[in-house]
Structure formats: C-alpha cells, structure tokens
C-alpha cells in the first residue's frame, strides 16, 4: 500500500469514527429527551428554586384623636414537612402522631383526633413535604401549637411550617368603613384611604427563597425571609371617632324612619377643611342600611334649593339687588314651564325673605331678569368659585361637577336653563362640593379644599404632613358675605328651618333644599322621587363646623327641613354640648372648681366616684379618661387630657400611678424622683416623642 492510500484510509477511518460518535450523541439526546424526559424533569423540578415576594405588614390608619381605625394582624397558614430531620425516623413519628392528632383536634375542633391522626399518616405515606394542616391561625394559637408533640422537637426539625399572612381588621367595624376603604388590586386607584395611600400603607415587600418539590409545590428553604419586608407607614386621618359615630347613628335613624333609599352626612372643620365625619348609607333591605357607595364625593345630583346661596351671592356681588329688594313669589312663567314654589303664595316680599322661605319663583325671576341677556356673566361667577372643577381630593372616586355654560354646552336652552339653574337644577354637584361652598362663607370667604389625611408617620415620626389647599382666597366681598350670613341665619330663625333646626342656645346658619330627582331614562316624568337636604354651619357667630345632610327618596314627607333638618340639629346639638370652647373663652374644655376639696389630676372616673361618695357636686361631664388641673385666681380649672399617639402627655399634678400609666402607654422609659404628685416633667407636654425615649418626672 502506497503512502497516499494509507493516509486516505486513516482519514476515512477518523471521519467514520467522528460520524459514529455524533450519531451516538444524537441518539443519547433523543433518549434523554423523549424516553427519560419525565424522570429528569421531575428531578429538575425538585432541585429548582425561586424567590417569591413576602408581604410587608401594612401600616395603621388612625383617627384625629389617635384611635385605631384600621390595622393588620398576623395570620398563619400551617403546613407540615412529613420527613423533616427530627421526625424522619418512623418510630418517633408513630409514637407521637396520635397525640398530635388529639391536640390539633382540641385546638381547631374541625376534625376528631382519629381523623387528624389518619390524615397525618396518609400524608406520611404519600411522602408529603408541604402538607396543609390549617389556614387562618392566629399568633397566640401558633405559639400553643409549637408546643404540641412532634412540633416541639425543634423549630425546624419538628416539621411545622408557618407561612405568615396579614389580615386587615377595623377595630370600630362599620365606623367610617367607606372612608377607610380597602385594598383592591383590581381597582386602579383603590378604595378610600387604603387605596389612595397604598404606596405608603403597603410598605415594601421582602424576598423568600422557595424550593419546588414533587407536585409543583414550593416550600420555604429557610424559616425567615432572605430580604426582610419593610413595614408600611401609618396614616393619621382627620376623622373624629366620636363625631363619626354620632353622624352615622343620626343618619341611620332618620333613614329608617323615612324609609329612604340612601343618604349622606359630612362634617367639616371650617378653618382647616379637615373632615371630621363622613357617613354614607344605602338601603339593602327594609330597615337595614349599609355603606356601599360614597355618595359624599361621588353622588352627583341636582343640589336643589341649597344652590340658591350661589345665585343670591352673585346678585349681591354684582350689586343687582340688595336684601331689601322686593320680588314676587308663588309662580313665575317661562317659555315651556311654570315655575312654582313648594307652597305657592302670591305676594311681594324682600329678597331676604324670599331666600329664607326658599321661593323658587323669586330667585328664578331675579336671575332671569338680571342675567337673561348675558347668562355668561352669571356662570362666570360659578366658574370663579370653581364649582365646575374637581377638588383633587385625597381619596379616589370624586365625581366631575357639571355646571353648564352657554358657550360650551349644547344642551343649553336659552329660555329654561338659566332660570332653572337659579334654584339648583340643570347641573350636577356632589354633597361635598356644596358643603365646600357653604364652608367658604363660614370661613369669611376663603374656600379651602376638604382633606381626609393630615399626616403620614413611619415608626412614630412624621414623614409628610398635609394642610388644606386654598381654592379661592375670597369668593366675594365682605359686604356680600355679611348679607349672605344674615340671610343664612334668617333661614333658621325666621324661615324654612325654624320649626326643626332652630336652637335658642346657640345660632345656626344654613339652607334647606328639596330637589326632584330625575330618572336616568325617563327624566322627571317618572315616579317622583325627591332629595331632601340641609347644609350650614354652627355656631353662626363663631363658625367652627360646617355640616351637610342629604337624604334621597324619603317616603312620606320629603322637604329638606323636615327630613334632613332633624339630623343636622341632632349632630350640631351634641357637638356643641360637648365642646365648651365654642361658647366659652376659657382656654380649657371644663368649668372651674369653686368649693370642692383639693384634687390631684388623674383618672376622671375614679375622681367622680369619690366625689359622688362624699356628696360633692361632680367636677365635670368628661369624655376623656384623664384630666389635668390648672390653678387660677378664680379657682381650679379641670381640663380634659386626651392621649395622642406619639405626643408627650401632660402628667403634672398627677399621682405616680396615673403618671406612670400614661407615660407607659406613650412608650416612654420613666425615671422618678421624690414622692407626692408630679410637679415637673423633663419633656414638655405636646412634644412629639418616640418609643423608648427616657423621661424624668419629679414629685413633691
């Protein structure tokens, strides 16, 4: 064989071996892929891991007075690794499984001891590594369960796996539930405060390493998360628990009495724009009402006669009328419609009297007579007061107002729209929008944005604070304001609100409203339904709160004064009676002591009990659990001491027991010097404090 043939033989041999090897590789790949695929896939699954999110503990929501409105508590899903290190031996497992079944049966009471033991043995037989034991287990029960047979072998070796979840609870249940809202991943902006501030409340999720086992189930690799979650921030709302409870109770009672379809109440602090209470109830069955829809901010409807405030304010501001301008009442004919008063009586009265008696005919005629040739001049006032704009509220769901304009609205009727707008038709406004206008009058012309949240805190420290945005610095002149205020007071003392709302002890200003509600398809010609409302502020001489009550589709009586007026009166009376600052210049909430024995500051109920036992006149009617004392030239003043989270309490004048209780509640570490009653504290009352901070008190 020559050299060339020898070389070619070697090349062919090498090439053949390579082809044979490649064929063997492809054959093996096919075998692995198609013949042994299930085996290797199962093995890969058992070895695969991934990181999953660990939900953070959501922040709390507090009321204005520090009460807890919403919080999260830990809840656990219990699983069991039937072959954990400490129970891998069958002897250990079989000796204790019956005892474990008995204990589980006792604590959960959903299966017998035998059923639990049988279930656990079946899980062992099936080689379960993540067997479900029970869902929704509280922390206290979990601590007990860790002591059960098998589980007490060790935290990891006993087989118990506790997966923490967070459960949201409302300590006051239905109180302000719609305003608090809830977490809803399917709603873009969420519901209520929970939805609006979810970025703060939800916190930051952590990471946990999970391993996949047979059956596609993932179990935690470690007991603790690899990246710990960051708890959510706390929200301090403007809601006052006592006022909220009062508003809901008064509204629900009247809804049941009048068999109405739904209603809303909103209470706002005049100067700050802070919402102290907001209640929304819908009928779910006869005599039963629940919060299902936020009518306060989303219930767009014709406001009716409460809108006459804006109409008269425009006329007065443009100097087209005065309060003593004479005008006819009873009827007013416009092309295509006869406008009538609720109790038609043809007479000529002053503009003030027409407002007080809520004459539709009078205001329709005045507006049509003075603005009919130039309606934009009237609607410009409404636009200047931003009645056509949303208020950019802190909670989602605000309805967009509808205030017509002859330039932009195709539905503008040159004969009917303007005169009907004069008494609150041909537009859509929410109750909160109307309240904001009345609040501006009470606030000397300054219109402020209503707010529901005043502060956001993390670990007790403020990270963001909110104040009401000024919508309009001055809605009208002081002259117009003075006249409008007198007209609003006249409604209660002389007009449509006199019989129900008037209280001789303090002045109230407001306006009744009765509007026919249009059917979405049939308009006003369908079965007649009415909306009764009353909106105003109190006390009228020094306004502190503004309030609106709207009740929709009451049966029987349907006028604003008779249906909504009693709710307004009840809320206003009880708030006024509990807040002496509204009618007393003394910078405390409680009256002076003019003949009672020397008394330490401290717990109100205990002191009242002692006073009663010795026959002394009670010090005061206090809502606060604790009180302070202030010595003045006129005697001793007893002042309520309302605890606020994160704020240093005033313990001066208290005995040691009461002082330590309050300081302990505030999370402070206290050092005590002396004996007797507290004469000084190292941190001034009202100072923002955090948990664990040290404070010294001196007694003498």
- For 431-559, strand residue ranges (E) read 447-448, 453-458, 461-465, 470-472, 509-517, 529-538, 545-552
Q: Are strands 234-237 and 61-62 parallel, antiparallel or unpaired?
A: parallel
Radius of gyration, alpha carbons of the chain: 36
- Residue 444 Ramachandran class (φ > 0 left, ψ -120 to 50 alpha, else beta): left
Looking at residue 632, its pLDDT comes to 39
Decide which of 328 and 2 is more confident: 328
Q: Which of these, 503, 452, 563, 434, lies nearest to 197 by C-alpha position?
A: 452
**pLDDT digit string, tens, across residues 304-363:** 999 999 999 999 999 999 999 999 999 999 998 999 998 888 899 999 999 999 999 999
SS3 labels along 326-349 = EEECCEEEECCEEEECCCCCCCEE
Indicate the burial class of 614 (C-beta count within 10 angstroms; 0-12, 13-18, 19 or more): exposed
Strand ranges across the sheet with 592-593: 592-593, 635-641, 626-632, 602-603
440: pLDDT strictly greater than 50: yes
Looking at residue 634, its pLDDT comes to 40
- The percent of residues above 70 in pLDDT, for the chain, comes to 83
Q: What sign results for the dihedral spanned by CA atoms 70, 73, 77, 81? A: positive
Q: Which of these, 230, 244, 299, 253, lies nearest to 277 by C-alpha position?
A: 244
**pLDDT digit string, tens, across residues 145-203:** 999 999 988 766 788 888 888 888 888 888 888 888 887 665 556 788 888 888 888 88
**pLDDT digit string, tens, across residues 599-627:** 666 666 666 676 666 666 555 545 566 65
Nearest-angstrom CA–CA distance, 389 and 398? 10
591: pLDDT strictly greater than 60: no
Alpha helices in 278-359 (DSSP H): 295-298, 308-317, 351-356
DSSP 189-215: T-BHHHHHTHHHHS-B-EEEEEEEETT
Match 């005033």 to its residue by tokens: 650
SS3 labels along 132-187 = EEEEEEEHHHHHHHCCCCCHHHCCCCCCEEEEEEEEEECCCCCCCHHHHCECCCCC
Nearest-angstrom CA–CA distance, 575 and 677? 34
Q: Are 557 and 563 in contact (CB under 8 A)?
A: yes
In this structure, the number of other CB atoms found within 10 A of the CB of residue 293 comes to 15
Looking at residue 590, its pLDDT comes to 40
Looking at residue 162, its pLDDT comes to 86
Domains of the chain and CATH, by start = 52-237 (3.90.1310.10), 242-582 (3.40.710.10), 592-699 (3.30.10.20)
Helix (H) or strand (E) holding 42: helix 37-47
Residue 408 DSSP class? T
Q: What tokens does 22 get?
A: 């490649």
In this structure, the number of other CB atoms found within 10 A of the CB of residue 239 comes to 29
Match 């628990």 to its residue by tokens: 241
Residue 224 DSSP class? S
| pTM of structure | 0.71
């Amino acid at each position: 064989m020559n050299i060339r043939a020898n070389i070619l033989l070697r090349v062919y041999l090498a090439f053949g071996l390579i082809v044979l090897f490649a064929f063997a590789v492809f054959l093996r790949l096919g075998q692995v892929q198609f013949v042994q695929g299930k085996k290797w896939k199962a093995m890969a699954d058992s070895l695969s891991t991934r990181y999953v999110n660990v939900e953070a503990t959501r922040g709390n929501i507090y009321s204005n007075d520090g009460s807890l409105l919403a919080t999260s508590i830990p809840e656990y899903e219990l699983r069991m690794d039937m072959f954990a290190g400490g129970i891998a031996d069958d002897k250990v497992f079989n000796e204790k499984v019956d005892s474990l079944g008995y204990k589980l049966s006792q604590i959960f009471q959903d299966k017998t001891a035998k059923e639990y033991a049988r279930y656990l043995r079946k899980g062992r037989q099936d080689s379960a590594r993540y067997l479900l034991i029970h869902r929704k287990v509280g922390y206290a029960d979990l601590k007990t369960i860790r002591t059960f047979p098998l589980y007490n072998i060790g935290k990891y070796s006993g087989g118990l796996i506790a997966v923490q979840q967070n459960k949201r609870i409302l300590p006051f249940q239905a109180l302000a539930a719609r305003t608090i809202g809830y977490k809803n991943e399917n709603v873009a902006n969420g519901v209520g405060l929970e939805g609006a501030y979810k970025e703060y409340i939800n916190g930051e999720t952590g990471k946990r390493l999970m391993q996949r086992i047979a059956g596609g189930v993932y179990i935690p690799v470690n007991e603790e998360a690899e990246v710990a979650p960051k708890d959510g921030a706390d929200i301090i709302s403007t809601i006052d628990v006592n006022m909220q409870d009062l508003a809901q109770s008064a509204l629900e009672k009247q809804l049941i009495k009048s068999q109405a379809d739904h209603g809303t109440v909103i209470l706002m602090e005049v100067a700050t724009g802070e919402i102290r209470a907001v209640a929304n109830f819908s009928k779910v069955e006869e005599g039963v009402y629940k919060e299902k829809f936020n009518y306060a901010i989303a219930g767009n409807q014709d406001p009716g006669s409460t809108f006459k405030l804006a109409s008269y304010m425009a006329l007065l501001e443009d100097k087209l009328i005065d309060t003593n301008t004479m005008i006819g009442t009873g009827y007013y004919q416009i092309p295509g419609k006869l406008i009538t008063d609720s109790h038609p009586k043809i007479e000529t009265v002053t503009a003030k009297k027409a407002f007080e008696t809520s004459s539709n005919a009078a205001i329709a005629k005045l507006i049509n007579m003075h603005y009919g040739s130039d309606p934009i001049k009237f609607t410009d006032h409404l636009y200047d007061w931003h009645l056509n704009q949303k208020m950019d509220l802190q909670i989602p769901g605000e309805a967009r107002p509808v205030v017509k304009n002859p330039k932009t609205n195709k539905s503008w009727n040159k004969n009917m729209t303007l005169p009907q707008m004069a008494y609150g038709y041909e537009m859509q406004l929410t109750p909160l929008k109307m309240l904001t206008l009345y609040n501006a009058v009470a606030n000397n012309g300054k219109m402020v944005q209503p707010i529901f949240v005043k502060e956001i805190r993390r670990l007790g420290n403020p990270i963001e604070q909110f104040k009401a945005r000024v919508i309009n610095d001055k809605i009208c002149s002081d002259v117009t304001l003075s006249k409008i205020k007198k007209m609003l007071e006249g409604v209660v003392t002389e007009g449509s609100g006199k019989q129900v709302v008037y209280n001789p002890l303090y002045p109230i200003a407001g306006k009744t409203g009765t509007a026919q509600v249009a059917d979405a398809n049939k308009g006003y010609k369908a079965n007649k339904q009415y909306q009764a409302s009353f909106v105003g502020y109190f006390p009228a001489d020094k306004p502190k709160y503004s309030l609106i009550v709207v009740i929709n589709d009451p049966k029987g009586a349907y006028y604003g004064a008779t249906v909504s007026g009693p709710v307004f009166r009840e809320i206003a009376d009880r708030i006024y009676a509990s807040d002496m600052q509204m009618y007393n210049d003394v910078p405390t909430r409680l009256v002076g002591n003019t003949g009672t024995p020397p008394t330490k500051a401290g717990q109100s109920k205990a002191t009242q009990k002692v006073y009663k036992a010795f026959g002394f006149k009670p010090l005061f009617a206090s809502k606060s659990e604790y009180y302070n004392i202030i010595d003045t030239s006129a005697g001793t003043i007893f002042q309520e001491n309302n605890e606020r989270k994160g704020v240093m309490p005033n313990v001066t004048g208290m005995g040691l027991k009461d002082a330590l209780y309050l300081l302990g509640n505030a999370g402070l570490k206290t050092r005590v010097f002396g004996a007797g009653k507290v004469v000084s504290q190292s941190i001034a009352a009202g100072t923002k404090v955090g948990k664990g901070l040290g404070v010294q008190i001196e007694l003498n």
